[in-house]
Chains A and B, each alone.
Chain A
Amino acid sequence: MNQDFQLKLQAYLDGELTERDTREVEAVLAGDPEARALLTELRNTTDALADFETDLKLPETRDFFWSKIQRQIQRQDTLAERPTPVPFWRRLLIPTGAFAVLVLVGWIGFKSFGPASDTEAAVVETFLTDAGAMTYRDEVEGMTVVWLSYPAENEFAEFE
């Protein structure tokens, strides 16, 4: 009797075989006393275990056992109701996020409504011919220079 057949014999006992395999096992059992002996041994073990758990009793009184369960249920209910403490880093998350959004909005606004670009508007020159003044604005440096001609150009004209 090989191992595969031994396992098949066990599966026969446990009702795990297909009809075809059942017939095959029954045919072997009919002519093999060794297989029958093994099946009897397996069946005896199963029968011996049948009522084993019935006699096992919890070694604690009804009230004591229940009081432990009840306490644990109530403790876990309380834990579930209690708001979970927010960790420090999560408390910082909201103001930091709000600040980041403000900075972003400001930057987008500056980009949209400010000078078109640093290079395009790097230098703006304005001639105030009437005042005899010229303004120079460097956006990159953030510097404004005003040239005043003295005497004013229009004054020269007047003198002339």
Chain B
Amino acid sequence: MSERALTASEDEPLVKAAQRGDMEAYEQLVAKHRDKIYARAYSMMRNEDDAIDLSQEAWVKGWQRLVQFQGESSFATWMTRIVINLCLDQLRKQKRHRTESIEMMDEESGGVERQMPVVTVNPTERLERAELRQRIDKALGQLSETHRTALVLCEFEGLEYKEIAQAMHCSIGTVMSRLFYARRKLAALLADLKKTE
């Protein structure tokens, strides 16, 4: 049995108890998955306070909607989708209060990523785990929200292009362009960070 399947089967009695209103069971589920939910919120928001608030809100929503959970996916996946939706809503709200930068409009129109030279050496090779994490964290922070979101939904959540397009309210073509740009820019940033260090 895979690790994921094992976790899902371990969660089942806790989920059933929580669905009957057992808050202690729900607390155990929170304790077990809180880091994962927080990590996803942090990857999308790039802000510790926002990530804490949104993951907390996700757990409250999870409790309120628990009766709707039928077990089609694992409980952790179900909770992750809740926090992703909350993050997307929050990002949309923030976006409404901001104007898009010229750089971002250029990126959206495509073409910038084609000018970038291919990074031939793996910039993350032989790095310590902590150092690698720090470097990726910094590079992710330099991506625009739309590019980072596409990357997070694809790389971390493992969503298909059409699912990402649905979540981000755009076309599959746009998802592909954003993803391509995000990956190429990330590679360039990681290479630059290696050079400057």
Interface residues of A (CB under 8 A from B): 3, 6-7, 10-11, 14, 16, 34, 37-38, 40-42, 44-60, 62, 65-66, 68-70, 72-73, 76
Interface residues of B in 7-39 (CB under 8 A from A): 23, 27, 30-31, 34-36, 38-39
Contact flags B101-130 to A (C-beta < 8 A → 1, else 0): 000000000110010001110111000011
Q: Pick the interface stretch among B69-77, B88-96, B178-186.
A: B178-186
- Assess whether B52 is in contact with A45, with CB atoms less than 8 Å apart: no
Given contacts A11-B176, A46-B183, A48-B124, contact A58 B38 (CB under 8 A): yes
Interchain Cβ contacts under 8 Å between A and B, 9 examples: A7-B177, A34-B118, A40-B120, A41-B187, A44-B187, A48-B123, A53-B36, A58-B35, A73-B23
- Out of A44, A52, A57, A73, name the residue touching B35 (CB < 8 Å): A57
Task: Give the chain A neighbours of B179 by CB distance below 8 A.
Answer: 10, 14
Q: Please pick, from A52, A70, A72, A76, the residue contacting B136 in the complex, using a CB distance under 8 A.
A: A52
Q: Is B192 an interface residue (CB 8 A)?
A: no
Q: Which 3 pairs show the lowest CB-CB distances between chains A and B? A: A56-B39, A58-B38, A53-B39
A66-B136 contact given A14-B161, A16-B160, A56-B38, CB 8 Å threshold:
no
Q: Output the least CB separation between A73 and chain B (Å).
A: 5
Chain A residue contacts of B155, Cβ below 8 A: 46, 49-50
Task: Let me know if A58 and B52 touch, CB within 8 A.
Answer: yes
> Bound state CA distance, A66 and B25, in angstroms?
12
Does B55 contact A58, Cβ atoms closer than 8 Å? Answer: yes
Do B30 and A45 touch across chains, with their CB atoms under 8 A apart?
A: no
Question: Contact: B180 with A10, CB < 8 Å?
Answer: yes
Contacts between the two chains (Cβ within 8 Å), count: 116
Given contacts A7-B177, A7-B180, A10-B176, contact A69 B56 (CB under 8 A): yes
Q: Contact: A42 with B27, CB < 8 Å?
A: no
Instruction: Verify if B64 is at the interface (C-beta below 8 Å from A).
Output: yes
B118 in contact with A37 (CB, 8 Å): yes
**Which residue of chain B has the shortest Cβ distance to A69 in the bound complex?**
B59
> Is the pair A76, B38 in contact by a Cβ cutoff of 8 Å?
no
Q: Residues of B contacting A51 with CB < 8 Å?
A: 129, 133
Interface of B is mostly: helix
With A37-B120, A48-B190, A73-B60 known as contacts, the answer to whether A10 contacts B136 (CB < 8 A) is no
Number of interface residues of B (CB under 8 A): 52
Q: Which residue of A lies closest to B132 (CB)?
A: A48
> Contact at A6–B36, with CB atoms within 8 Å?
no
Q: List 11 additional A-B contacts (Cβ < 8 Å) besides A16-B160, A41-B187, A48-B123.
A: A10-B183, A44-B187, A45-B183, A47-B124, A50-B155, A55-B133, A57-B35, A58-B55, A62-B34, A65-B56, A73-B23
CB pair A56 B136 closer than 8 Å: no
Distance (whole angstroms) from the CB of B78 to the closest CB of chain A: 17
A68 to B35, CA, bound (A): 16
B186/A45 in contact, CB under 8 A: yes
Is there contact, CB below 8 Å, between B186 and A60?
no
Instruction: State the CA gap A60–B56 with chains docked (Å).
Output: 11
Q: Which residues of B lie under 8 Å from residue A47 when comparing CB positions?
A: 124
Q: B154 to nearest A CB, angstroms?
A: 7
Q: How far is the CA of A10 from the CA of B140 in the complex (A)?
A: 19
**Assembled-state Cα–Cα distance A59/B48 (Å):** 8
Q: Tell me if B110 and A53 are in contact (CB < 8 A).
A: no
